[in-house]
């Protein structure tokens, strides 16, 4: 006999809570949600506070000295009498060093990400990715020390040779790829035997001229003598290496997120792996890769210790402005270097100008973050919708 089963009346009694118990439960849920919400919003509130306090100390500078000199002058003499606060050279220095870092890190990082996600076998990827991520764990002062003690003297002693070697290393693969693509495009119309010969002729002509060009550039750079090894090039290279792990990691995630279905569909249509990569996967992951690049840029813009040690800290705009071989000064290095003397106890424009710079950096990274967010969201919608 099924006497163990509760009668409908018993069930009803167990399920229905008393009014007090039900209220307590609702309160407990609310309290739990409230605590979790408070904990989560702590970080958001911290960001707001940072914004507020930097604004609070930056605004007096603009009130004291205005925007004119800050943005248009290169005369940076904070301890002069009267002091001059021209930060244009620092803006240019930051832009120059960051651009250099992008040129180093973006091609390397994206190629490495593609290689990790779609070319290397799984086991190799398991081994290589942690190694790349270790780059992010090395303290920046160690990079700075390397830049100052090893790399700067090497640039001074062997500058020309290093530059021409780098030209060959970077230029040769790019030139080879370019020659292949261009000769392919030239022969698009032709067919059969004619196509092969045209292609060969174009390849030889283009290859020879590319070689000649590379040789000329390398020889020219080989003559260069670098007077000071702590310059924009040094800082750019080191910053590029430091931005690599961010770019590799995030791009690789984006490439993975493109999904197995896309790849299989592409293979099913008869595409080769190269075609799948270039025409399907990379376009699908373009948004994520761009986001990775922006994150890498932010890493390079915000880095302080390396640029303070490796960039030379000369408050000047190089001649010409893209000359990476001259020392430059960045916003972050200026803030770190001038903080000690500029105290709010003895308070002055010299203190507030540093916050004005910090505010510019913060605004820049805020905009970068918004753009990244927007790109990622748009890509996600495109992929799913």
Partner 1 sequence: MRKAITTGALALAIGLAGPAAAQETLTLDGSTTVGPIAKAFAEYYMQQHPDVNITVSESGSGNGAKSLINGTCDVADMSRFMKDTEFKAAVDKGILPVAHVVAMDGIAVIVHRSNPVADLSMEKLRDIYLGGITNWRELGGPNKTIVVISRDTNSGTYETFEGLVMKGEKMAGHVEYVNSNGMARARVQNTDGAIAYVGLGFADRTVKALTVDGIAPNRATVASGRYPIARPLFMFTNGYPKLGGTVHAFVTLHLSRKGQEIVEAIGFVPVTDY
Residues found near partner 1 in the complex (CB under 8 A): 74-75, 77-81, 89, 148-149, 152-153, 156, 227-230, 308-309, 312-317, 326-327, 329, 337-343, 345-346, 348
Q: Which is nearer to partner 1, 297 or 314 (CB)?
A: 314
CB 178 within 8 A of CB 203: no
Cβ-Cβ contacts under 8 Å for 369 (sequence gap 6 or more) = 298
Angstrom distance (rounded) from CA 363 to CA 366: 5
Report in angstroms how near the CB of residue 73 gets to partner 1 at its nearest.
11
Q: Which is nearer to partner 1, 27 or 149 (CB)?
A: 149
Report in angstroms how near the CB of residue 234 gets to partner 1 at its nearest.
12
* Tokens 């100052």, residue located: 148
Q: Which is nearer to partner 1, 210 or 356 (CB)?
A: 356
Angstrom distance (rounded) from CA 102 to CA 134: 20
Report in angstroms how near the CB of residue 84 gets to partner 1 at its nearest.
8
Sign of CA dihedral 79, 85, 86, 89: positive
Q: Which is nearer to partner 1, 65 or 369 (CB)?
A: 65
Report in angstroms how near the CB of residue 154 gets to partner 1 at its nearest.
9
Core vs surface per residue 81-115: b (16+ CB within 10 A) or e: eeeebbbbbbbbbbebbbbbbbebbbebbbebbbb
Q: Which is nearer to partner 1, 275 or 338 (CB)?
A: 338
Q: Which is nearer to partner 1, 95 or 383 (CB)?
A: 95
CB 358 within 8 A of CB 365: no
3-class DSSP state for residue 85? strand
Angstrom distance (rounded) from CA 249 to CA 252: 5
CA-based radius of gyration for the chain: 29
Report in angstroms how near the CB of residue 170 gets to partner 1 at its nearest.
27
Report in angstroms how near the CB of residue 354 gets to partner 1 at its nearest.
11
Report in angstroms how near the CB of residue 342 gets to partner 1 at its nearest.
8
Angstrom distance (rounded) from CA 251 to CA 291: 8
CB 277 within 8 A of CB 118: yes
Q: Which is nearer to partner 1, 296 or 351 (CB)?
A: 351
């Amino acid at each position: 006999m099924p006497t163990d089963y509760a009668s409908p009346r018993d069930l009803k009694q167990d399920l229905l809570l008393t009014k007090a118990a039900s209220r307590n439960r609702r309160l407990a849920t609310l309290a739990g949600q409230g605590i979790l919400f408070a904990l989560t919003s702590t970080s958001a509130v911290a960001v707001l506070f940072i914004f507020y306090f930097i604004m609070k100390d930056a605004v007096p500078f603009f009130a004291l000295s205005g925007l004119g000199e800050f943005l248009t002058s290169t005369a940076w003499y904070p301890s002069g009498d009267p002091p001059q606060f021209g930060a244009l050279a620092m803006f240019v220095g930051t832009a120059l060093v960051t651009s250099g870092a992008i040129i180093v890190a973006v091609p390397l990082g994206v190629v490495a990400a593609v290689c990790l996600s779609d070319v290397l076998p799984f086991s190799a990827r398991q081994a290589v990715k942690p190694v790349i991520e270790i780059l992010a764990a090395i303290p920046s002062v160690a990079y700075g020390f390397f830049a100052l003690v090893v790399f700067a003297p090497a640039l001074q002693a062997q500058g020309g040779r290093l530059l021409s070697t780098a030209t060959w290393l970077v230029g040769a693969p790019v030139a080879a790829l370019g020659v292949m693509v261009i000769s392919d495009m030239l022969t698009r119309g032709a067919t059969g035997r004619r196509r092969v010969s045209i292609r060969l002729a174009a390849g030889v002509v283009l290859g020879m001229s590319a070689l000649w060009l590379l040789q000329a550039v390398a020889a020219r750079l080989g003559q260069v003598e670098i007077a000071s090894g702590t310059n924009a090039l040094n800082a750019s290279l080191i910053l590029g290496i430091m931005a690599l792990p961010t770019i590799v990691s995030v791009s690789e995630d984006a490439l993975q997120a493109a999904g197995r279905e896309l790849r299989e569909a592409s293979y099913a249509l008869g595409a080769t792996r190269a075609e799948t990569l270039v025409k399907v996967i990379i376009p699908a992951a373009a948004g994520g890769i761009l986001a990775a690049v922006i994150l890498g840029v932010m890493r390079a813009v915000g880095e302080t210790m390396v640029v303070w040690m490796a960039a030379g800290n000369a408050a000047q705009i190089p001649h010409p402005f893209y000359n990476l071989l001259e020392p430059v000064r960045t916003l972050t290095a200026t803030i770190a270097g001038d903080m000690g003397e500029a105290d709010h106890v003895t308070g002055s424009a010299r203190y507030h100008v540093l916050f004005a710079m910090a505010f510019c950096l913060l605004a820049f990274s805020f905009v970068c973050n918004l753009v990244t967010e927007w790109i990622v969201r748009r890509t996600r919608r495109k992929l799913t919708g």
